[in-house]
Chains A and B, each alone.
Chain A
Amino acid sequence: MTSLPSIPTPKRLGLVIDLDVCVGCHACVISCKEWNTGGYGAALSDQNPYGLDVSGTFLNRIHSFEVIPEGGEVIGEAGEARIVHFPKSCLHCDDAPCVTVCPTGASYKRGEDGIVLVEEDKCIGCGLCAWACPYGAREMDLAAGVMKKCTLCIDRIYNETLQEVDRVPSCVRTCPANARHFGDLGDPTSDVSIMVAERGGMDLMPEQGTRPVNKYLPPRPRTPLAANADGLGSVEETSGATGFFGWLDNMLDRI
C-alpha cells in the first residue's frame, strides 16, 4: 500500500475539458502519444502496428457516444439524438485509489502539485492500479511491462528550456478547438478555477469518492430554432409579388 500526500496539496494541477466545443478530432490523443513516447519513462509501444490486432498504449483517449435528451434542462433539443465526444485521461484524483492500491510505492501523488505519477523503476506491472482506477485511465505498456498514465506532461510544464507559453501539457497546446485548459485548480483565482465556477464544471463520477482534480465543462444551453419561427412577423399578404415591388420602390428612395 502506498499513501497519499496530506490533503490539500499546495497546488492541484489538472485539466479542464470543455465539452461544449470538443469535436472529437483526436488531436490531443495523438499529440499526447508523440510527446510522451519520447518523453517521461518508457516509450508508448504499439503492437502489430501494421497488422491484424493493432493496439497501442495511449495516455489519453476520446470516447464518442450517442445520447438522446429527454427534455427538461437538456442541452440539445428534446428527443433529438446527439453525439458527445468525451476525452479521458488520468484525473489526478485527490483520493487516488490507484496510489493507495500500489504494492511497491511506484504509483504516487506528488506532494507539491498533486500530479499522480508512476516511478517506472519500481513498477512491477501487477496492474492493480488499473483495476482500482474507476475511470480506466491507466494502460499497461505491453512492451515495457510498466503502467503508463498521463503525467500532465511533467517534462513540459516545468521545462525551463521551453518558452513559458509552451509550458503546458502537449494536449492543451495542440487542441484546435481550445477545449482543453491547464492550471491550478487549488487556486480559486486561477483561470481554470474561474472557468469551472462560471460554467458549472463537473466531477466525473463523483459517487466514486475519488475527488478528481480534472473537471469537465458541460455544453452550454441551446435554443431550438423553432422557438423563433414567428420571428419574422407577419407581413401583409399581397397578391403575387406586387406588394413586394411597391415596398422595394420605397426602399430605393431611401438609399
Chain B
Amino acid sequence: MCSQSVALSAPVSDEVRKTTCYMCACRCGIDVHLKDGKIRYIEGNRDHPVNRGVLCAKGSAGIMQHYSPARLSAPLKRVGPRGSGEFVEISWDEALETAASWLGEVRARDPKKLAFFTGRDQSQSLTGYWAQQFGTPNYAAHGGFCSVNMAAAGIMTIGGSFWEFGAPDWERTKLFILFGVAEDHDSNPLKMGISKLKQRGARFVSVNPVRTGYSAVADNWIGIRPGSDGLLILSLVHELLKARKIDVDYIVRYTNATWLVIDAPGTANHGLFARDADGKPLVFESVTERPVPFGSPGARAALSGRVQLDDGRFAAPAFQLLAERYLDPKYAPEAVAEETGISASVIRGLASEIARVAFDEAIFVDQHWVDMTGQRHEGFVGRPVSFHAMRGISAHSNGYQTARALHLLQLLIGAVDCPGGFRFEPPYPKPMEAHPTPHGKAEHFGSNKPLSGPHLGFPRGPEDLLIDSEGRPTRIDKAFSWDAPLAAHGLMHMVIANAHAGDPYPVDVLFLYMANMAWNSSMNTAGVIRMLEDRDEATGEYRIPKIIYSDAYSSEMVAYADLVLPDTTYLERHDCISLLDRPISEPDAVQDAIRWPVIEPDRDVRPFQTVLLDLGARLRLPGFADSLGRPIYKDYADYIVRHERRPGIGPLAGFRGREADRVGRGASNPDQLKRYIENGSFFSAHIPLEAQFFKHANRAYQDFAVRVGFFDEPKPVTFQLYQEALQKFRLSAEGVREPVAPETHRARILESFDPLPIWYPPFEEAAIDGETFPYHAITQRPAAMYHSWGSMNAWLRQIHTRNALYVPGTICDEHGLRDGDWIWLISRHGRIKVEVARMEAVNGQTVWTWNAIGKRRGAWALDPSSPEATKGFLMNHLISELLPPKGDGMRWSNSDPVTGQAAWYDLRVRIEKAEPPAISEPQFPALRALRRSAVDELRYGEEWSRQT
C-alpha cells in the first residue's frame, strides 16, 4: 500500500454562476459550476434560504435536463395531421407573425375565442397580466388540477394555505402531522424539516394510504382510506371538544367564533352574520347583554347561547353551531372507524397527543408585541403542533371541505401562526377580502379591449359569479359558474373537453404553455387526444381550430400543436420568482429570486416570457406597446426591472430605488438584476422580531406589510371558522336569495356548501357500485421526478424507468396474483393493462402507482421501445373528466363542487387477470420524433477525467 498519487486539489470549475433551480417547484438556490463552457456540477447554494445548500436528485440531474436530446431547437409549423408529429422548422419571424395574426383576429372579433392556459408556470403574474390586456376571459394556470381546494379553503379560512403561503415552524414544532403525498412540492424544505424535528425527538405522524417517501420515516403511519381524511379530522375535533382541549382565548380573539349567526330559516339572511349599520359583524356582550360590534374594547363576547337582536330576529354565536355539530356522537372515533379504516384507539391516541403537545408542552417566546386592538402582550404563546397537506386531501371531490376541516382543527388548538405551529410566509396572511373578485362577465370584456380586471379571485357570493343572465357560464372552463363557484384557479382540466363540445361555446385559438394536456395533465387522456384530433364534419376543420403551444421539450402535447414556440431550458433564461406571484418567503423573511442565463442557448429558441412580451407588442396590447405601437419592453429581463404593477411595486422587491436600498416599494433600479446576481440570485429581508408571529393580528407585522407594499393599508385577518360566503350560495340554492341557483344545481350546493366544515363521500364512490369497483386507485409522487419531467433525463430515468401497480397482499391473494403478473385495471371509464407488484405497506383497499412515469411512444426523444412506453402506464386513462350520468341531462365535471378541483384521487377500480403479451395498454401510435438521440452511450465529463 503505497498510496498512489491522486490529484486532490484540482479546481472544480472555471466559474460558478448562482441561479434558481427549476427541476421542480421548490425554487432552491443553485451553484452552477461551468468548465470549458459546459456544466461541470450543480450543487445547492449554501446561502439560499430555501434549501441552505442541499439539493435533491432532480436538482443535481439538471445537467442531463439541460443537455437532453428532447430539447426543442426551432419554431415549428405542423404539416402533417395533428398527432403525426410532422412539422417543418420555421423562422421566429414567421412563427410570431402567424401567432399574432391568429390572436389579433380573435381579439378584434371575439376575444373569448382565445383560451390561454399555462401549466407549471412560475410567471403567472406576467401571463395573467398579458391575458387581461388581451381581453379574453379565458385564462388560468394549472391550479384547477393541482391543489386549488387547498389554496381556496386556506385563503377563505385563515387567509393563507400550506406550502407557498406558510410552513410548519420546523425549529420549534413538537408534533408534525402530514396528510397525503407531499414529495413533489416544497420537497427540500420538507425533508430538511422532517429530519430536523426527528433528530430533536419530536413526533412525526403521516396520514397517507401509502407508506413510501416521507411516510417511511414517520413515527406513526395512519394508512387511511382515500377520501376519508375529512372524517378523521372531524373526529379529532370531536374528541378535542369533548375533552375541552381547545384554546378558548385564541378562538375568541382571532376567529369569528363569537360572531352572531342569524337564525331565520326561509329568509334571505338565514345563516349570515348579524351586522351593524356599518356592516361590522355583531357579537353578544354577555355582561351588558346586548349585541355590540366585534372588537369593541372590553366586551366579553359570548361563545354560546341564543340571543335576540334589536330587530327581533334571533341569532347564535358561530361557536354554538360549531360545538353542537361536532359534539355529535356521529363524529366519535368508533363511529368513523369503519369509514376511515382507522381504529378508534389510534384516533383517540392521535387526539390525545395533539392535546398533550398543544397544551402541556406549550411554549412561550419572550418577545413583547402589540395586537391590532392596541393591547400589549409580553410574548407569543406557542402550541407546537403543526400540519402540512397538499393534493392528498385536495384532489378529491370533498377536498375543499376537508381542507377547511384541517384549518378548523388548527384553529381550535390555537396553532395558526404561533411558535411551533403553522406559520404564515409573507405576503400572507391576506384575507379573502384583499383578493379581487373574478372578472369575465359579458360586461367585463369586448372587441379590442382589456378585461376590466383580473381573471381569478374570490367571489364573495353568487352575485360575483361569471354567468350570463340565463345563469350560463361565461368562461370556457365554467370556472366561477354554478358548476364551480369558487374556482379560484380555474379548471384547466375542462378546457379541451368544453371547447371540443362547444359547451358553453367553441374557441378559435387554444394557447398553452408548459402543460402536457395530451398526456399526463389530463383526465381521460385517450379522449382528450381524440378531441384534439377531431374535425368538424361539415367544414373538415379541427374542432379546436388553432393550437399554439410553448414548451422546452418534445412532450406529447407538442405533437398536437399547429404552431410550436420552443422555450429555453431553465439555465438559459431570465425569470423572477415574485411576491406578486408564487412567493418563496420564509416565516421570518420576505424573499424573492431570479433566474438568469447562466448558459447561452445553442438552439434557435427563445424564453417564453420574452416571446409573450413580443406578441403583446405586436398585438399593441396596452402595457406592452406604447401609443405608437413600439414595444415597451426589450425582453423579460427588461420587464422584470421596469414593470410596475402599482407605483413603486414591481416584480422584484429587492434592491429597488436609485440607491438599491429600498425594499418592496421604490423606484425601478436599472442595476437590479445585477444586484440580485451578486447576491446569489435571491433577496431576503427579515421581518422585525415583534412581527414574526400572529401576523394576522399583529400591529408591527401589519405596519411592516404596508411599508414594503403588500398592502396600502393594514389587512388583519379574522379566521373564518364559519364561512359566510358559502352560506350565501346555500341561500341561493334555497331560492331565497338573489341570484337564485338553477334547479339543477340546488341539491348539490345545499349538500356541499356548508358554512361549517363537513365530510361527504367522494362523488365517484357515491355514484358507483362498491361491489363492482371495490378498490381505490391513486398515484404517489416519486421524489426523483417532477410530473412528466424526468424521463428525458438520462440519469433520472434510470431511477424510474417503468412503473408497476402496487397491490396490497390481501388483494393479491384474493386474485392469485404474484409479482410480475399483468392485470387489467378497470374503472367505470376504461381499462388499462399493467404489471403487478405486491406490497403490504398500503391501505388494504387501495392500489397505487407512481405518477407520470408512463410515456407515449416516440415522445420525449426516447426510443419507441423504451420501458416508459411499453411497460409504464398512466392512471389518467381510467379517470373521466365527467361524473357518471345521473339522469338529469347534465354533464357534471369530475371535480369538487365548490372549487372545481379535478377529483383524480376519487378513482375506483376492479382487477382482472390479463393474458400476454407483457405490454401496457392502451398503446398509441408512436409519435414521430422531432429529434432523436443517436447517442447509444453517454460519457459525460470524460474529457475532464483525464485532466486530474
Contact = CB atoms under 8 A, between A and B. Distances in A.
Given A45-B939, A83-B211, A176 B54 contact: yes
Contacts of A73: none
B945 A31 contact: no
Interface stretch (B493-501, B523-531, B796-804): B796-804
Among A3, A44, A49, residue most surrounded by chain B Cβ atoms (within 10 Å): A49
A25 B948 contact: no
B346 A225 contact: yes
Interface string B242-266: 1111001100100000000000000
A207 interface: no
B188 to A, nearest CB: 5
B10 A49 contact: no
Contacts of B336: none
Contacts of A11: none
Contact of A66 (B58, B59, B841): B841
Interface stretch (A131-139, A185-193, A208-216, A237-245): A237-245
A232 B348 contact: yes
Contact of B56 (A176, A230, A248): A176
Contacts of A66: 839-841
A224 B346 CA distance: 8
B195 A241 contact: no
A176 B252 contact: no
A251 B245 CA distance: 12
Among A3, A29, A179, residue most surrounded by chain B Cβ atoms (within 10 Å): A29
A71 interface: no
Interface in A211-234: 219-220, 222-233
Contact of A49 (B46, B286, B933): B933
A174 B938 contact: no
Main secondary structure of the interface of A (DSSP, over half): loop
A231 B217 contact: no
B223 to A, nearest CB: 8
B185 to A, nearest CB: 14
Among A26, A39, A41, A224, residue most surrounded by chain B Cβ atoms (within 10 Å): A26
A25 to B, nearest CB: 4
Interface string B767-810: 00000000000000001100000001011111101000000000
Interface string B210-231: 0111111101111000000000
A104 interface: no
Contacts of A220: 198, 201
Contact of B794 (A41, A56, A83, A158): A56
Contact of B303 (A81, A109, A252): A252
Interface string B908-948: 00000000000000000000000011011111111011001
Contacts of A231: 348-349, 352-353, 355-356
Interface residue tally of chain A, by bracket? 35 or more
Interface string B1-44: 11110111111100000000000000000000001000011111
B55 interface: yes
B555 interface: no
Given A155-B8, A161-B10, 7 more contacts: A31-B55, A50-B862, A68-B840, A111-B3, A174-B54, A225-B345, A241-B327
Interface of A: 2-5, 20-27, 29-31, 33-35, 37-52, 54-56, 58, 64, 66, 68, 76-77, 80-85, 108-112, 117, 119, 143-144, 154-155, 158-162, 165, 170, 173-179, 219-220, 222-233, 235, 240-241, 244-245, 247-249, 251-252, 255
Closest 6 CB pairs of A and B: A231-B352, A38-B941, A225-B349, A81-B840, A49-B794, A176-B191
27 contacts: A2-B1, A21-B217, A27-B57, A34-B42, A34-B61, A38-B940, A39-B944, A42-B939, A45-B937, A47-B937, A48-B936, A80-B221, A84-B216, A111-B1, A155-B10, A160-B9, A161-B9, A173-B54, A178-B192, A178-B195, A222-B220, A228-B352, A230-B348, A231-B355, A232-B242, A241-B327, A255-B252
